[in-house]
Amino acid sequence: HTGERPYRCPSCPKAFKNSSSLRRHRHTHTGERPHACPQCGKAFAQATNLRQHQRVHTGERPYACPLCPKTF
C-alpha cells in the first residue's frame, strides 16, 4: 500500500509494483507475442487478449445487458 514501484522499464519511464507487470509491459517494446490461438494462429502479447479473442471461435458471449436480452 506504499505506492512504491521498484520495477522500472529500461526502455521507457514506466515503473511497476511487481516484476510480472514489468515483464508483461516489455512485450510492447519487443513486439513479442507469446500467446498464440490454437485455432487460427493469431498471436497476442497478453494471455487475457488471447482468451478474449478465442470467443470469436467459440461464440461465447459472456456479458448480458441488464436492460434487454442482448449479449456481447
- CA–CA distance, 34 with 43 (Å, rounded to integer): 7
Domain boundaries of the chain, sorted by first residue: 1-32, 33-72
Domain 1-32 belongs to what architecture?
2-Layer Sandwich (3.30)
**Rounded mean pLDDT, 23-44:** 95
Name residue 37's amino acid. C
Query: Are 1-32 and 33-72 equal in CATH topology?
Result: yes
7 CB-side CA count, 13 A: 11
What is the CB-side half-sphere exposure of residue 3 using CA atoms within 13 A?
Answer: 0
pLDDT tier, 17 (very low <50, low <70, confident <90, very high otherwise): very high
How confident is the model over 21-36, as a mean pLDDT?
Answer: 94
pTM above 0.75, yes or no: no
What average pLDDT does this structure show over 2-17?
97
pLDDT band for position 52 (50/70/90)? very high
Query: 33-72 adopts what CATH topology?
Result: Double Stranded RNA Binding Domain (3.30.160)
61, 55 contact by CB (below 8 A): yes
- Does residue 1 have a pLDDT over 90? no
